Amino acid sequence: MSVLDRFRLDGKIALITAGAGPLFGSSCTAGLAEAGATVITASRSREHNEKHAEGLRARGFKAYGLQVDMTKPESIERLQREAKECVGDVDILVNNAVARPAGMSTIEEVTLESLTINAQSDMIGLIWMCKAFCPGMAERGRGSVINIASTYGSVGADPTLYPGTGIKPPIVYPFIKGGMVNLTRALASYYGKRGVRVNCLSPGGYNPSGPQLFAERYAERCPLGRMMDGQDIQGAIVFLASDASSYVTGANLSVDGGWTAI
């Protein structure tokens, strides 16, 4: 098998939570489909996911849209059964969903209600997705789990970016993403000898419809001089999903333009 062939995902089934969303999800789904995978995207709206899948099918890819509520373990378990009935056993699991609005508040503004939403979706939901899909991967002796974290899982938020932008420096979001990075290591060590690789992908700033002032400040601080675009994550997600990364597990791959290098 050639080096380039090792990046192909033909015959693999990939499930991406929030895979129809504008923040990384749709880019990840498209990248995996273009590499040959059959993709399943799932979030609360089945209609939204099926519409996105329909667009991918129109391009000649194999894609399905399903529904899941990440705050309800029984919904995640139903998704696992439905995905298997629909297309077969999942080979690649991308945990991309996050209760982002509730996590983007300052320490002064965080509420018990918002913390409960984060706990249900971003902690319980994430772990239950792994609980639902990883054991089957381990039984089959193969699988790749990719957790979409953030630079804020490794470093704190830069408070100088936010004044005058209308965006609030997050306090819960770094907590969530930092936990995701270390959960990745724990799962990688637990499942490694059973053929399941677990890695993190930590994107940098991506703000396609956000304030221009924020984007300018970010670009000035970032070594590569710009924010991410949708294509920047695609090569990394295909690498971690494919046999090209067959000896990579427990890693946190930063795709951040050098943000965490300084």
Residue with tokens 């439905």: 82
What three-state secondary structure class fits 201?
Answer: strand
Helix or strand holding residue 65 (H, E): strand 63-67
Residue with tokens 């749709």: 26
Q: Are the CB atoms for 146 and 237 separated by under 8 Å?
A: yes
Q: Are the CB atoms for 40 and 64 separated by under 8 Å?
A: yes
User: What is the distance between the alpha carbons of residues 229 and 22, in angstroms, rounded to a whole number?
Assistant: 11
Residue from 150, 165, 50 nearest 96 by CA: 150
Q: Are the CB atoms for 236 and 217 separated by under 8 Å?
A: no
Q: Are the CB atoms for 174 and 122 separated by under 8 Å?
A: no
How many residues in total does the chain contain?
Answer: 262
3-state helix, strand, coil in the chain (%, to 5): 50, 15, 35
User: What is the distance between the alpha carbons of residues 115 and 172, in angstroms, rounded to a whole number?
Assistant: 8
Task: Strands of 117-178 (E only): list them.
Answer: 143-148
> Among all residues, which ones are annotated catalytic?
173
